[in-house]
A and B are shown apart, each in its own frame.
Chain A
């Protein structure tokens, strides 16, 4: 390649990587480097209580025939940390960090190029439907099956501290919150079933 061709390649390359920054494109390998950029001041600090036994047992699920069982990370064959995220965040409707970063303070130009209205989110995912699709599909269950999962339950505890207390070094003032979630299969999702997530 000649010097001229390389110059052209470099100009195109630099234009693309800068465009990713300006237009907040975060599609690997392009990025606008948003890691840890979101800071929303809060009076409280909360952390999940790691319940190894509950995590090992997994989601409590109810099948179409009324029977109850548990689905663990081993059943899904996924890494424990990822299962933990499904168990204590995704099923509760909490977005992964990248979605949060992509949704926060999106400027007017970036809203306009994405065709978003004022209050419309950049990333908006129906996590309930996804949970049913992911777990049932992985366990090879279809909507007509007796063992098809129609209810998924999760429960996890959080320690909630007042930031002011922690900043005084006081860790004893803590509130333990138990969060439970029960999500039910909705019959209208049958239409989506064959399309999956694509």
Chain B
């Protein structure tokens, strides 16, 4: 009984405290702004196609296309979906028909991601975290603060702490677990050798450095730094342990109260994604925008409003 009570206390403490309605509303806005860039980056290849061109029959339709009987691509529809996606994202940022907008975003992502990943069967995982965040926004009351919905419907009561906290805390938990699970996957599939100095990291570094070819002088055309690094297994071993420590330790971030420490950790993770992009062509470059979920955006928003925003409005001074 005492055990159940303490579980219940920890559960309530974790999921139902820590954030205000304003934090949730601002998070919706800022994540939405991040998504505008993310969508375009993710679906750019689909937008290079001829909208009135041939309808391609997929070689490996994604699972839900198989389920729904979608076998071919209608190019014009993808362009229309992209426009709807961007419109719905703007609508989500503004908080206009918020829940409907989020639902439309989710459906558009399912469609466009399905198209992109069905062309040749390469399924990408870059939308998994944003999709979980959108799903939690959908269930939450994020549209009731900092939104046109709130102004139009004259919602004044605000959101209680527990109502604002659980979606944000669940997002945090998901992201932390996402990194933790990736260690489990590596160990399950390849064993601890994955993290060795002469393991997977070294292999990817070499592969990605010679993939663009070699000059007549025997130097790699691109990614010379990756090539250099690959020749230092002891250094790679250090980075491998670092990857292991940060992925295994990511859930500990949930226990850190200090915003500065959190920021330091998140900057480390962001540096990790930038490095893997630069050195290994691992394309999770834009994913760090989701780390906004680890911060209370109220003070940041106030700072932007009072300090940064007036600078933009004033414009550059010609007189110095």
Contacts and interface: CB of A to CB of B under 8 A. Distances in A.
Partners in one complex: yes
Interface of A: 1, 3, 6-7, 9-10, 13-14, 17, 21, 26-29, 31-42, 45, 47-50, 74-83, 85-86, 89-90, 95-99, 101, 104-105, 107, 125, 127, 130-131, 133-134, 137-139, 159, 161, 163, 166-172, 174, 196-198
Given A45-B203, A198-B66, A7 B11 contact: yes
A31 B185 CA distance: 10
Interface in B29-69: 45-46, 48-50, 53-64, 66, 69
A9 B139 contact: yes
A36 B58 contact: no
A138 B55 contact: yes
Contacts of A33: 125, 178, 181-182, 184-185
Contacts of A196: 57, 71
Contacts, number: 204
B102 to A, nearest CB: 14
B8 to A, nearest CB: 9
Contact of B54 (A31, A77, A99): A77
25 contacts: A6-B166, A13-B170, A26-B123, A28-B117, A31-B125, A31-B181, A32-B184, A33-B184, A34-B185, A36-B186, A36-B200, A37-B182, A39-B200, A42-B203, A45-B210, A49-B213, A79-B119, A82-B122, A85-B120, A86-B59, A104-B189, A159-B214, A161-B210, A196-B57, A197-B58
Contacts of B15: 6-7, 10
A118 B211 CA distance: 36
Interface in B150-181: 162, 166, 170, 173-174, 177-178, 181
Contacts of A81: 45
A32 B54 contact: no
Contacts of A74: 50, 53
Contacts of B100: none
Contacts of B189: 34, 37-39, 101, 104-105
B58 A134 contact: yes
B103 interface: no
A96 B182 contact: no
Nearest to B66: A198
Looking at B11, B119, B178, the one whose CB has the most chain A CB atoms below 10 A away is B119
Contacts of A107: 188
Q: Which 4 A-B pairs have the closest CB atoms?
A: A82-B119, A79-B45, A39-B200, A77-B53
Contact of A98 (B122, B139, B211): B122
B207 A76 contact: no
Nearest to A26: B123
Contacts of B190: 37-40, 105
Contact of A27 (B63, B127, B177): B63
Contacts of B220: 171
A50 B212 CA distance: 8
